[in-house]
């Protein structure tokens, strides 16, 4: 039968008289748990004015000697506030409801709330901010593109360009502002060449040559010469002219009904 154990609810584990000697003592805490076959399962709770450093939940094997480190209860209702690359207004152990302020070192900018408060559950809210460098990471470069500019400190500007045959799409210049680039970098898209005009047929070239000649004799000679160059036979010429005539008649009739 499971037996619930509540050890040291009115006095500290450090003052054990032997009734809970199987559980490693932790100063300024109480241990609440339950006993199963050859095991004790439970948690350490720090008394008011202290906070837990380490793992809270534990399973102790009564058949083996315990040699691992257990948690500790440090003075202060909440863990000591630490702000990397910055400082806090805290000057000692923190009590419940205490508020602290945050400030970053020179060259860093605060990201998040500039204050936090110690809660009854030993946590801080809002979460601690971070101090981020005012300098930027190197910006990305688009495929088939590149940027010019070798410094990425706050206020620095880089300029983008594309390889030959590609057009820049987006912002050409980016500026580093308090550790972040003010825009995403552009892309380089392939330049689409204008479609080439359809090549003229031998008959079209011959007709154009006929139209450009000033007298009938020259026009006829140029026309026949073009046909021979293009390898157009007289039968093909007659067929093409008949088809053009039919198309012209159809166009005239359609215009008359419109």
| pLDDT, mean over the chain | 80
pTM, two decimals, is 0.49
* C-alpha dihedral sign at 40, 43, 47, 50: positive
Question: Which CATH number does the domain 145-190 belong to among 3.40.190.10, 2.10.70.10, 1.10.1270.20, 3.10.180.10?
Answer: 2.10.70.10
Residue 6, pLDDT above cutoff 50: no
Tell whether the model's pLDDT for residue 100 goes beyond 70: yes
- Residue 135 — pLDDT band, cuts 50, 70, 90? very high
Give the whole-angstrom CA distance, residue 56 versus residue 49. Answer: 17
Comparison of pLDDT for 32 and 11, the residue scoring more: 32
- Encode pLDDT of 58-97 as tens digits: 888 777 777 678 888 887 888 888 899 999 998 878 888 8
Percent of the chain with pLDDT over 70: 79
> Residue 236 has what pLDDT?
73
Q: Which of 33-42, 44-53, 98-107 has the highest mean pLDDT?
A: 98-107
According to DSSP, residue 63 is labeled T
What token pair was written down for 153? Answer: 């400190």
Measure the CA–CA gap between 182 and 153, rounded to whole angstroms. Answer: 13
Tell me which CATH homologous superfamily contains domain 86-132: Complement Module, domain 1 (2.10.70.10)
**Cα–Cα distance, 235 to 152 (Å, whole number):** 75
CB of 153 closer than 8 Å to CB of 159:
no
> What residues does each domain of the chain span?
3-74, 86-132, 145-190, 202-249
Alpha helices by DSSP H, 109-215? 202-212
Say what the alpha-carbon torsion angle 125, 126, 131, 136 is, to the nearest 10 degrees: 150
Question: Contact 116/100 with Cβ under 8 angstroms?
Answer: yes
Confidence of residue 247 (pLDDT cuts 50, 70, 90): confident
User: Comparing 25-29, 112-116, 164-168, 234-238, which segment has the lowest mean pLDDT?
Assistant: 234-238
Cα angle value 69/121/125 (rounded, 5°): 110
Q: What is the pLDDT of residues 146-190, one digit of tens each?
A: 999 989 999 999 999 999 999 999 999 999 999 999 999 999 999
> What are the phi and psi torsion angles at 251 (to 5°)?
-65, -40
How many Å apart are CA 258 and CA 254, to the nearest integer? 6
Q: Do the Cβ atoms of 86 and 112 come closer than 8 Å?
A: no
- Convert the pLDDT of each residue in 48-59 to its tens digit: 878 888 887 888
The 3-state secondary structure of 148-172, one letter per residue: ECCCCCCCCEEEEEECCCEEEECCC
Domains 3-74 and 145-190 share a fold: yes
In 3D space, the residue among 170, 131, 137 whose CA is nearest the CA of residue 154 turns out to be: 137
Q: Quick check: 241 pLDDT over 70?
A: yes
235, burial (CB in 10 Å: exposed 0-12, middle 13-18, buried 19+): exposed
Q: Residue 196's pLDDT band (boundaries 50, 70, 90)?
A: low
85 by Cβ neighbours in 10 Å (0-12 / 13-18 / 19+) ranks as middle
pLDDT at 17: 39
pLDDT of residue 169: 95
How far apart CA 252 and CA 2 sit, in angstroms, is: 106
Give the right CATH number for 3-74 from 1.25.40, 2.10.70, 3.30.160, 3.30.1300: 2.10.70
Which spans in 111-201 are helix H?
none
What average pLDDT does this structure show over 222-241? 73
């Amino acid at each position: 039968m499971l037996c619930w154990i509540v050890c040291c609810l009115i006095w500290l584990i450090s003052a054990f008289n032997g009734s809970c000697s199987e559980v490693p003592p932790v100063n300024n805490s109480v241990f609440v748990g339950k006993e199963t076959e050859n095991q004790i399962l439970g948690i350490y709770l720090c008394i008011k004015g202290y906070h837990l450093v380490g793992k809270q939940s534990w399973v102790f094997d009564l058949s083996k000697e315990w040699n691992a480190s257990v948690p500790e209860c440090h003075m202060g209702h909440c863990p000591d506030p630490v702000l990397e690359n910055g400082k806090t207004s805290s000057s000692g152990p923190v009590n419940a409801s205490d508020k602290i302020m945050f400030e970053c070192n020179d060259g860093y900018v605060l990201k998040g709330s500039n204050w936090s408060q110690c809660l009854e559950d030993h946590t801080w809210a809002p979460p601690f901010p971070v101090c981020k460098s005012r300098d930027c990471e190197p910006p990305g470069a688009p495929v088939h593109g590149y940027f010019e500019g070798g410094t990425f400190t706050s206020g620095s500007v880089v300029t983008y360009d594309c390889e030959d045959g590609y057009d820049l799409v987006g912002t050409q210049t980016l500026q580093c502002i308090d550790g972040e680039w003010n825009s995403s970098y552009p892309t380089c898209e392939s330049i689409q060449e204008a479609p080439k005009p359809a090549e003229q047929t031998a008959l079209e070239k011959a007709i154009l040559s006929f139209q450009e000649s000033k007298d009938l004799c020259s026009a006829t000679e140029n026309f026949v010469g073009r046909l021979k160059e293009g390898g157009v036979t007289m039968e093909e010429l007659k067929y093409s002219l008949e088809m053009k005539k039919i198309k012209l008649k159809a166009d005239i009739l359609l215009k008359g009904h419109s």
